[in-house]
Structure 1
Amino acid sequence: MYFGIPRRPCSPSARSLRAPRVVAGVMALATVLSAAGCGTAGSPRKPEAGASSVEGFPVTVDNCGVRTTYDKPPSRVVTIHQHPAELLLALGLRDRMVGTAFPDSAVLPELRKDFAAVPELAKREPSFETVLDAEPDFVYGGYGSAFAENEGRSRKAFAEAGIDTYLNREYCGKKRVTMRDTYDEITTIGDVFGVPDRASALVADLRGRVDKAVAAVGKRPDVPVFVYDSGEKTAFTAGGKGLGNDLIGLAGGRNIFADLDDVFGDVSWEQVVARKPEVVMIYDYAGSGSVEQKKRFLLSQPALADVPAIRNKRFVVLPLTATLVGIRSAYAVDGLARGLHPESFQ
């Protein structure tokens, strides 16, 4: 079963950090609007002398150890990576976006027109100079690699250029990421951009979709799930710290490697066999082999032949983008619940 969102290539630097990546369908985004924000390195900005007050401001945000005070909403925004761009568009902030970069998956249908209207600065992370050429007052990064110091894009460098920055909270080093982080991200961005009502509406919509899926599954027994990202000699799988682990639990499943104290990690095939998963959830993204290639590999391994999920050819597919802190993750819960407990949706 495939839940509709096309696969995306992983950011190399993000994958090297074993970071998770966040299913199909998005609500009527025209009625739901907001976004999440992050501050720049350095000291909070002080209001300019004589500056007129803006309702709801100043707003102070602590983001990944950086504290920033906004005296007014950002008006010229560059996003690095696709999920921050989609979040801003879902909040109705197209008119404030002056550039985006690293479009790593097919854009959600409801957002294609607006996304296409935003200038694309680079196919991958843009250079510091390229971002400066867009003259932003705010840069919103999706993965930690958005602000790579070794490539000259540190948050400090942007701060010294007078530009505020915000990093998706997933990369703040929190112990465990859950759907609450998605809701908090949207709320924060809504506050930074002066659209808290839009953020509240979007959060309510996403939370309602998750709650509906959870209620449909009810108290049915959790289905043991093995996440297969990639790997042949060993299995690269999802551990207990990433958002994917929480999505599985909400959908009525149990990640068999939830005890892996990381977002991602390698496990042996012997461990997979011993834990007897009933479903294999395949992460789909460009650069790791197609879904069909992954299925063929798993089905061809004699050592896995007696694993219930393999014996019954029971696979579900989750685009890696659905495991990110962004607007897609709530839809992943519904899609996964339907794959793990189809009888609840008949």
Structure 2
Amino acid sequence: MCAMAVVVALAATACGGGGGTGTDAVAAGRGAAGFPVKVADCQGAETTFTSAPRKIVTSNGSALEMLLRLGVGDRVIGTGFPPGKGTLTGKLDAAAQKVPVLGKSVIAKEKLLGSGADLYIDTFSSMRNMGAAGSGPTEEEFKAAGIKHVPLASTACASMAKKPQTDLSGVEGDITRLGAVTGTPGRAREIVAGMRAKVAAVHRAVGKVPEGKKPRYFLFDFDAGTKQPMAVCGKQVANAVITQAGARNIFAGCDGDFRPVSWEDVVAKDPEWIQLGVRNRGDAAATEKAYDQAEAFLKSFPATKGLRAVRDGKFLRIGSQRTTIAGVGNADAVEQIARTIHPAAFKAGR
């Protein structure tokens, strides 16, 4: 047992726009075995791990993917919001499809508490648009069931952040914390380094684009419904993805993470690019059909068919999970968005 506990504080690292990722804090206290590890929740309450958990349940596919990339997928005994087939690539997808599904959406409280897990990784605790997520177990119920409860700070704590997310430090901090908790800090550092390298390459290409030249960008969450659009605000991780890609989120100024807005609000901001945010359907053809439906709606709906992006056909087909939920895919989304909206910057190897 190391003499000093690793303290991984969410408040200092989770949702800031330009601070550190928490990596340094983890490294500073690590002993030979890496334990004990203390992790703070969104309110600052600490949970101590004296050893790595052996039976983990994840609230959704993004948390599951993090564990698979950390090499501890064999410890995952169940998940909610399972990733659709083909959402992940290669061996990751095959491994994800083998994980028992405890809930096609939010895991029922009774099933979660009776799962036998010793750790629950929670992506949704403060995400108001997840509906049933707010009826999950209390901290007392988690404790009584012997389950330690760890949130992904960049999403679960986002609405409580003091400032917007404008970089991926919150996501990197989540990966670093999970690496510390699962006893895989070295692998976590490798994953974070890979994300940083990808984003750095984007910065080299588009970093000198003046703020006024960055296109206005709207993430249209088609699956949230078409009657009233759901905006991703400044504290949502999607704002960081959009910002890092060299675009301007048209709803960056609204407080919080998500907020229902009106189509009049969208029209007033007249986006130059629109991302068709569609969740993976588990079938390539079905997912593509959903993208087609989202595009067709914008082209036919009276309020949106005159938007600049719609008139010019400037749509991006990027899954909403890779943009609005924390994960390694956030860095991939940064690159894909940047290459689409700034093609000239990437020509000739730039």
So what's the TM-score if we normalise by structure 1? 0.76
Structure 1 residues 219, 163: CA separation in 2 closer, same or farther (over 3 Å shift)?
same
What is residue 108 of structure 1 aligned with on the other side? 88
Q: Do 1:243 and 1:324's aligned partners in 2 also have CA atoms closer than 8 Å?
A: yes
What is residue 59 of structure 1 aligned with on the other side? 37
What is residue 192 of structure 1 aligned with on the other side? 181
State the 1:79 CA deviation: 1.5
State the 1:303 CA deviation: 5.0
Structure 1 residues 135, 270: CA separation in 2 closer, same or farther (over 3 Å shift)?
closer
| CA distance in structure 2 between the aligned counterparts of 1:162 and 1:114, rounded to whole angstroms | 26
State the 1:100 CA deviation: 2.3
| CA distance in structure 1 between the aligned counterparts of 2:262 and 2:135, rounded to whole angstroms | 34
| CA distance in structure 2 between the aligned counterparts of 1:80 and 1:146, rounded to whole angstroms | 14
| CA distance in structure 1 between the aligned counterparts of 2:64 and 2:131, rounded to whole angstroms | 13
Deviation string 1:284-331 (CA, Å, 9 cap, x unpaired) is 137999222222222224554553212211111221101211221111
The answer on 1:222 being equivalent to 2:214 is yes
The amino acid across from 1:164 in the alignment is K
Q: Do 1:222 and 1:254's aligned partners in 2 also have CA atoms closer than 8 Å?
A: yes
State the 1:185 CA deviation: 0.4
Deviation string 1:61-117 (CA, Å, 9 cap, x unpaired) is 112223111111111212221111111000000222222232143340231222233
Structure 2 gaps of 5+ residues are 1-22, 24-30, 282-286
| CA distance in structure 1 between the aligned counterparts of 2:149 and 2:94, rounded to whole angstroms | 26
State the 1:234 CA deviation: 4.5
What is residue 259 of structure 2 aligned with on the other side? 265
Q: Which of residues 137, 141, 146 is equivalent to 2:118? A: 137
State the 1:229 CA deviation: 2.2
Q: Do 2:122 and 2:156's aligned partners in 1 also have CA atoms closer than 8 Å?
A: no
What is residue 345 of structure 1 aligned with on the other side? 346
Q: Which of residues 265, 280, 299 is equivalent to 2:274? A: 280
| CA distance in structure 2 between the aligned counterparts of 1:193 and 1:146, rounded to whole angstroms | 29
| CA distance in structure 1 between the aligned counterparts of 2:135 and 2:262, rounded to whole angstroms | 34
Q: Do 2:58 and 2:122's aligned partners in 1 also have CA atoms closer than 8 Å?
A: yes
In the comparison of the two structures, how many residue pairs are matched? Answer: 294
Residue 219 of structure 1 aligns to a residue whose secondary structure is: coil
Q: Which moved more, 1:260-269 or 1:276-285?
A: 260-269
| CA distance in structure 1 between the aligned counterparts of 2:299 and 2:65, rounded to whole angstroms | 36
Structure 1 residues 148, 154: CA separation in 2 closer, same or farther (over 3 Å shift)?
farther
What RMSD over aligned residues (CA atoms) do the two structures have, in Å?
Answer: 2.8
The answer on 1:203 being equivalent to 2:192 is yes
| CA distance in structure 1 between the aligned counterparts of 2:251 and 2:316, rounded to whole angstroms | 17
Structure 1 gaps of 5+ residues are 1-34, 36-52
Q: Do 1:80 and 1:146's aligned partners in 2 also have CA atoms closer than 8 Å?
A: no
What is residue 14 of structure 1 aligned with on the other side? none
Structure 1 residues 96, 313: CA separation in 2 closer, same or farther (over 3 Å shift)?
same
| CA distance in structure 1 between the aligned counterparts of 2:173 and 2:112, rounded to whole angstroms | 27
The amino acid across from 1:274 in the alignment is A
What is residue 167 of structure 1 aligned with on the other side? 151
State the 1:246 CA deviation: 1.5
| CA distance in structure 1 between the aligned counterparts of 2:104 and 2:230, rounded to whole angstroms | 27
Structure 1 residues 268, 140: CA separation in 2 closer, same or farther (over 3 Å shift)?
closer
Structure 1 residues 77, 54: CA separation in 2 closer, same or farther (over 3 Å shift)?
farther
| CA distance in structure 2 between the aligned counterparts of 1:56 and 1:123, rounded to whole angstroms | 35
The amino acid across from 1:62 in the alignment is A
What is residue 248 of structure 1 aligned with on the other side? 242
Q: Do 2:114 and 2:145's aligned partners in 1 also have CA atoms closer than 8 Å?
A: no
Q: Do 1:101 and 1:120's aligned partners in 2 also have CA atoms closer than 8 Å?
A: yes
The amino acid across from 1:57 in the alignment is F
State the 1:120 CA deviation: 2.7
Residue 165 of structure 1 aligns to a residue whose secondary structure is: strand
State the 1:147 CA deviation: 9.4
State the 1:278 CA deviation: 1.4
Q: Do 2:237 and 2:326's aligned partners in 1 also have CA atoms closer than 8 Å?
A: yes
Q: Do 1:148 and 1:154's aligned partners in 2 also have CA atoms closer than 8 Å?
A: no
| CA distance in structure 2 between the aligned counterparts of 1:100 and 1:269, rounded to whole angstroms | 35
Structure with bigger helix share is: 2
Structure 1 residues 301, 155: CA separation in 2 closer, same or farther (over 3 Å shift)?
same
Deviation string 1:120-171 (CA, Å, 9 cap, x unpaired) is 33323333443355422111122126995745x2232011222211121121
What is residue 13 of structure 2 aligned with on the other side? none
Identity rate of aligned residues, in percent? 34
Q: Do 2:318 and 2:333's aligned partners in 1 also have CA atoms closer than 8 Å?
A: yes
| CA distance in structure 1 between the aligned counterparts of 2:113 and 2:257, rounded to whole angstroms | 33
| CA distance in structure 1 between the aligned counterparts of 2:63 and 2:296, rounded to whole angstroms | 34
So what's the TM-score if we normalise by structure 2? 0.75
